[in-house]
Amino acid sequence: MKESQDTMSTDVTLPALGESVTEGTVTRWLKQVGDAVAVDEPLLEVSTDKVDTEIPSPAAGVLLEIRAQEDDSVEVGAVLAVIGEESEAGGGDAAPEPPSAEPAQAEASPEPEPASAADAEIAQDDAPAPTAERTAGGSAGGGTEVTLPALGESVTEGTVSRWLKKVGDSVETDEPLLEVSTDKVDTEIPSPISGTVLEIRVAEDETVEVGAVLAVVGDASASTGGGDAAGPAGSAEQPHGDDANTAATQDEPQAPATATVTDGTDVDQQADAGDEGGQAPIPAPEPRAPEPQAAPPAQPAAREDAQPEQHGPAPTRTSPTPVAADGDAVYVTPLVRKLAKEHDVDLASVTGTGVGGRIRKQDVLAAAEAAKAAAAAAKAAPAPAPAAPAAAAPAPAKAAPSLQPSSLRGTTEKMSRLRKTIAKRMVESQQVSATLTATVEVDLTAISRIRAQAKDAFKAREGASLSYLPFIAKATVEALKVYPKVNATIDTEAGEVTYPASEHLGIAVDTEKGLLVPVIKDAGDLNIGGLAKKIADLAARTRQNKVTPDELSGGTFTITNYGSAGTLMDTPIINQPQVGILGTGALVKRPVVIQDPNLGEVIAVRDMMYLSLSYDHRMVDGADAARFLSTLKQRLEEGDFGGEFGV
């Protein structure tokens, strides 16, 4: 974050998100130029190869400028946006009418319609010109710049994937402005101040460096005036003229072209098909959106047109629809959707307390707590009453729940940054490694007995569940110490093989956005209890998008638990530059022939699991893989872990 010497505007930059992250991609803007934001309010989402995270606003004020558009990749430190005070927004808007650099550029453009193109040109101008623009706006009260923050030590750039606010929208401090994606993170960038989005500097899908200015936030009231004054002269440069509150300039129908681009990227759920064709209708709903209050009879048709278009942003300061995914629903960030899913909260039943009725994390958590309280009360009082119908309950209970068709059927959506990264890495791994998969069947009955005796006490003592995975992880790191080839990395170009001194164990975690692999550093130094707590902590934070890029890098071997969904066997793909990955299948009970010391061979019901090792034949031979799996199998079947749990 930095402040201009001539103004009090604040740059929002892309922060360092990890030692190995040098850049990030803007996945979604949660605020638009002109929106008011509060301190620490999410401005945008940024994605890197390993982390999806929100970028908060460093100051309260108004989003004056957006420098990095959605899907733009920028380096750490690049300016994503500019945040300023509401009073500064007036200067920023009034300045263009005099000999300001911004109107000059806008007037010089022969095609004012593609406002997003004008924004892109501004973002790509040489340093002196943008500096002049910002200084001029700031000297007259320019707003706060929203910059791309550092999303990790190794992240140097990010891509703006989606703007959640448009020019003219009101924002509060910490309210999300946009989403940003990097190779490791998809996150929201919040507004640093409360105010109005005055300018968007970076269009969606544009990649900018950390520190790049993404937008400018300033005074909401001044922004409105500035929109009126600057509308005829430079509506392409001043997309906040699409406030539609003024609805007076002829260029305003063109300025929403920026909104059209944003909308097309904003609605990646079910409205993609209608976004591209929505450019022409946009001017109609934008100016009419506020009118129904004064002239309801004349607006039914306009409102119907507006619904499929996501044009709530027109009533910038008061309408709850600026971030709507469709005409009726308030936009909900991916993080909030994920949180609602984890807590089994129906977002349709949640009343948002954010700007324009936006549903925030606090609303979801409050709804979850209310549901828990209601459930507890229901168990306490109605418990006796259901006793009577309980006799009839078994009959309806037999009916299997019907499967509901997915709403994704018949739709097309843009691949997320994370999905693209996963696809790229998986294909690269298959092209680089000579992959084979070996499988063994393991009897985990002894571990099942230990776990049954120890899990309740362990849960009470450590606060984490004692699953089978920590036992498998412990046996795995022990085997890796004996067979370092499976824990090695290979560099064919340099002709070198590296044997790490430690076992850094990656644990694949299924998230709403895709598969991520947080790493337990120095896993070989942990006991089963330590591994259990580490696995639980990393899995929870990964699903909550709270894991850091450093925690998603540096692994030397990976375990993936595909058996959690009932899969018996699979052939996992190696996580480069590693040379091995272990897959754990579903645990099933079945009859097995075992050797009894007294009865000889007998058939008994045992807890069985398949373990599959995919390995790189460039480094690991089949015999090496077999020895590794045999050692792992023997350690698990012996089940000599009871001493740690006192059983």
Q: Give the catalytic positions in this structure.
A: 617, 621
For tokens 């309980």, the residue is: 390
CA distance 93 to 142: 8
Scored b (16 or more CB within 10 A) or e, 594-620 reads eeeeeeeeeeeebbbbbbbbbbbeebb
For tokens 């925690």, the residue is: 551
Region for residue 501 given its phi and psi (left: phi exceeds 0; alpha: psi -120 to 50; beta: otherwise): alpha
CA distance 304 to 532: 54
- Taking CA atoms, 244 is separated from 1, 34, 72, 234, 578, in Å, by 32, 13, 28, 15, 55
CA distance 280 to 269: 22
- Taking CA atoms, 558 is separated from 179, 250, 546, 584, in Å, by 30, 60, 20, 11
Nearest to 476 by CA among 613, 643, 623: 613
CA distance 411 to 429: 30
Query: What are φ and ψ of residue 478, in 5° steps?
Result: -65, -40
CA distance 34 to 262: 15
Strand 600-616 to strand 435-443: parallel, antiparallel, or no bridges (unpaired)? antiparallel
Going by C-beta distance under 8 Å and a sequence separation of 6 or more, which residues neighbour residue 501?
none
Strand 435-443 to strand 149-150: parallel, antiparallel, or no bridges (unpaired)? unpaired
